[in-house]
Structure 1
């Protein structure tokens, strides 16, 4: 997302069109997460992690070698295919290693890798893309993925395949209304955040008046917000998963409603970017745990689908942002549209609570 201007220049398209590259990766996650999680239900989890990260490495190197808009779109789609299942299986492995009351904490620690990526990796890749070319960050990510394969082989304990697992049992989770409601919370609720963050570079340069060279530092602020959010997610969940989810989404809606105004001053823009990282990151582990709770026997599929829904939100947000911008509205408008999506997520969460109470009463 931080490289959209460089990608747009490199493959000779507009910035809104370059935003579709973000959507292509996200759609790869949406397709790959349920498909791979279901087909690989009986494969040992460590084997899955190794194979998925190896595929991720190959696809990112292919992204670096892409020479046209079409080939880059295909490479980004293929890069997204392993993403959801990798994080989903990783979350299940993490949760299986701790006591039941520490599952949200374990999942948040596994997902904390994403926060480190945003503190170090995203600013570094943006800086690299600005000075060396947009292809180099993709090659760098491919090299990191190869290192990750070695780390998984060396350090993740062997977990035998679940003999009782099957594609049928995994898919049974999709017959539960609460699963679909949890997926809806993620897709709709997070769409607003991605509508804003997909265009964070031009928003900071055009509205706040920062130079392009300052953007990597602003992305560090976003990553710090994510890191702090990940550390408090477990504590927030102790007040109740659904209370935490509804409260977090309400605050996200409020932030997005005023983000366009805050982004027009340098100090307030930095504060807004920090909160844009902080608030959604509190929500992710709680949504992950909620899905694993309501899916029952379909743990692997449910855990993977959380990332599928977040990337559906990614694709939806990036696309909706491009529509707004293509019609001539300024960079303050994607976040205003995003606020409505966050309110929609709150509504779905309230429906989930109501349905749960009705089932309990029965």
Structure 2
């Protein structure tokens, strides 16, 4: 069970030292953008999240634009700023490395951090730009027992966790389907949505994907695409749950549908509508879905809860609630839809055999 309250942790012996690679929005300024957006619970950026976790001390930023790193250094009262993240990691010897660069640089940064003593990594989404890179990252992280989470924050949102607990208890009966009503770029935006679908379904293994790339002008022949493609389709999980990927005007809305009830997730996780299945006419097989109160919960920062999850794993030498293999599954779905399109809409088995296809994401 995933309790919807605080994440309980052992008392650490000392603070963990953290550094942030990249000094853009997710590093430390996106909090300013979402002040009036109910779906984002502050603190939201990496730096603001670390500032709210007493067991972590943020000690440095790095960015190839040194002025940006210095700006965040001043904003958060951090000791040092660097132009080269490699120099920062070698000098600071951090326990936790946050990576907030564009996804095109994630693989090299994760590999460097892993090879230079990082004990935990918080990597922004998208994880990377190819499954081959994801495999290299997985090997580097797992061979060193590095604790790992990505910035697909809905997994740590208390409302989503409340729904996951309902599914686990059987409150919806047997879970049959999960739905995202929007996709967008399948690496940058949809990594959020795909990870949520996997989380609500119990983090199953993947069986197959079938779908279509919807980006205008897509050419299935090249082995590389220099834009983040969008698509629609369906994915079969090994527990029998079907995942439906739709492209509608309902941005950041989702559903979990079971044999005895369904939950609609609205307004990017602000509102939840639960309906329970009941017989409408005895003996005739007619059913209806009756509105039922969704369990109450207290919304808190998913960024803080993600960081606390890393701290818990460090304290206990345990596993995080996501880990790199679950993060890789979001890429398997994205590239599965692309490979299905490249094979004229055929159903493709997952995990994919072709690991080399590369797609850009910012």
TM-score normalised by the shorter chain: which range applies?
under 0.3
More helix by share: 1
Task: Return the index of the structure with the highest Cα Rg.
Answer: 2
- Normalised by the length of structure 1, the TM-score is 0.26
- Normalised by the length of structure 2, the TM-score is 0.26
More strand by share: 2
Larger RCO, structures 1/2 (Cα 8 Å, 6+ apart): 1
